[in-house]
Amino acid sequence: MSEPILEMTDVSKRYRTAGGFGRGRKGFLAVDGVSLHVERGEALGLVGESGSGKSTLARMANGLVVPTSGTVRTDGQDVARLGRRGLRRLRRNVAMVFQDPLASLNPLQTVRQTLENVFRAHGETTSTAELVALLESVGLGADYLGRYPHEASGGQLQRVAVARALALKPDLIIADEPTSALDVSVRAQILNLLADLQRDQGISFLHVSHDLAVIRLYSDRVAVMQRGRIVETGPSDEIFRSPQHPCTRALVEATPEAELPA
């Protein structure tokens, strides 16, 4: 079996908190000795209550957050040993989709400028035809190229954000609650889009969510986080059918069958 696309070993993150004495001076341990891996082509769901350290953990995969200890190997490379350039090259292969599409797109840039900047970041240029094809792959028409973020809906913007993530043909996409800022009606569309990408293009996913129902349908495996630690991992169906940890049970109970996306 080939090397996992992402492998974290015993990683911790301690945030320094401003101007504290005593307890505060030690900082806040957001991630506490976590190990996890994502196989190539796999979608791993990361669930947990708010503040459990999911976003922090996810951002360590592409170096946006630097771990206090432990090792992160992404795409076969030790992230801590990559220099500035190495990290930028890594980010070609590891793209990210954020929670709030409106906030994660520059309000002063058209969709075209946003997409062009991704190529520019790596010294590449692109053609309008390529950009149109990119938009079509996320289900948007060519007319979106000239639009500003405030001229599109949340669901359309999240498609633009997915297009931005796909621009450089990544091997891994980190999706940090990609649907929780969206209307319930468009959530399933975005999730189906991501699932198609995994199936058709073989892209691996680290999918963060606090909604176990979403994770169950769209991830192969689940890792459950609580207060900075992973308390349970396993195949999605299994976790959902027979949750072992009290935290997982609470999450399962909080997702009534009726609210499952179709």
Partner 1 sequence: MSWSSVSIAEIQQAEGRGTPVLGRLLRKRSGAVGLVMLIVPLVAGLCAPLLVRIEGQDPNTMHTDLLDPDGGRPLGAFGGVSADHWLGVVPVTGVDLFAQIVYGIRSSLFIAFGASILSIAFAAVLGTAIGYFGGWLNAVAGRVIDFMFGFPGLMFVIAVMAIVPPEMPRGLVLVLVLAFFGWTVPARIIGAQAGAVNARAFVEAARATGAPPWQIIRREMLPHLFGLVVVLFAMSLPGNVSVVAGLSFLGVGLRGDVPDLGKLLSDSLPWIYSGADVWYMIFPGAVVFLIVFGATLAGDALRDVLDVRTEDAA
Query: From its phi and psi, is residue 180 left (phi > 0), alpha (psi between -120 and 50) or beta?
Result: alpha
Q: What is residue 156's three-state secondary structure? A: helix
Residue 5 beta carbon to Mg ion: minimum distance, rounded to whole angstroms: 21
Pairing of β 43-48 and β 28-38: unpaired
Using CB under 8 A as the binding rule, the residues of this chain from 156 to 195 that contact partner 1 are 161, 164, 167-168, 181-183
CA–CA distance from 182 to each of 45, 190, 197, 239 (Å)?
19, 9, 20, 26
Instruction: Please report whether residue 54 would count as binding ligand ATP according to CB under 6 A.
Output: yes
| Binding residue (CB under 6 A) for ligand ATP from 3, 10, 15, 250 | 15
Residue 130 and residue 66: Cα distance in Å, rounded? 34
Q: Tell me if 118 contacts partner 1 by CB under 8 A.
A: yes
Among 38, 47, 87, 208, binds partner 1 (CB under 8 A): 87
Helices and strands (H and E) in the chain: how many: 10, 10
204 lies in the binding site for ligand ATP (CB under 6 A): no
DSSP string, 76-115: TEEGGG--HHHHHHHHHHEEEE-S-HHHHS-TTS-HHHHH
Tokens of 126: 């692109």
The least CB distance from residue 153 to partner 1, in Å, is 7
Residues that bind Mg ion (rule: CB under 5 A) add up to a total of 1
Number of residues that bind partner 1 (CB under 8 A): 38
Find the shortest distance in angstroms from Cβ 112 to Mg ion: 29
Q: Name the β-bridge partners of 72.
A: 8
Residue closer to partner 1 by CB (options 154, 261) is 154
Which stretch in 43-51, 74-82, 118-126, 133-141 sits in contact with partner 1 by CB under 8 A? 118-126
Q: By CB under 8 A, tell whether 150 contacts partner 1.
A: yes
What does the buried/exposed string (b/e) look like for 47-72 if buried means 16 or more CB atoms within 10 Å of the residue's CB? bbeeebbbbbbbbbbbbebebbebeb
Residues 48-67: x where in contact with Mg ion by CB under 5 A, - otherwise, as a string: -------x------------
Is 178 a binding residue for ligand ATP by CB under 6 A? The answer is no
DSSP 52: S
98 binds partner 1 (CB under 8 A): yes
Strands 204-209 and 172-176: parallel
Token pair for 141 = 């028409």
- Using rule CB under 6 A, residue 48 touches ligand ATP: yes
Q: Which residues bind partner 1 (CB under 8 A)?
A: 62, 64, 87-92, 95-96, 98, 100, 102-109, 113, 117-118, 120-122, 148-150, 153-154, 161, 164, 167-168, 181-183
Q: Which residues bind ligand ATP (CB under 6 A)?
A: 15, 28, 30, 48, 50-56, 210
